[in-house]
Amino acid sequence: MKRRKATTGRSGSMSIWVALIVLFMAELLVYSWCRVQYVQTGFEIAEARQTGQRLTELHRKLNIEEAWLRSRERIKPIAEERGLAVSDPSKIFVLK
């Protein structure tokens, strides 16, 4: 009977080592997954910042283009070419 207890002790200590190894491997897998997610999120943030900068620059350019399209210097020659003229202020009536 003493021999069985000795082998049971070895078997018990072996199962503890296996459990510790499995636990360690699971911990490594979780750590690796977290690290991959961290790096992927960093890439997504960098891409979002670049997109934001691109959109800000586009917005600025569109504002400049809008100001140019609304400018009198551009509209006046087009209006004159089409036979339109600025009204005489004395001929303008305000209706209330």
pLDDT in tens, 19-47: 999 999 999 999 999 999 999 999 999 99
pLDDT category, 2, cuts 50, 70, 90? low
pLDDT in tens, 50-85: 999 999 999 999 999 999 999 989 998 998 899 888
HEC per residue, the chain: CHHHHHHHHHHHHHHHHHHHHHHHHHHHHHHHHHHHHHHHHHHHHHHHHHHHHHHHHHHHHHHHHHHHHHCHHHHHHHHHHCCCCCCCHHHCCCCC
Model pTM?
A: 0.57
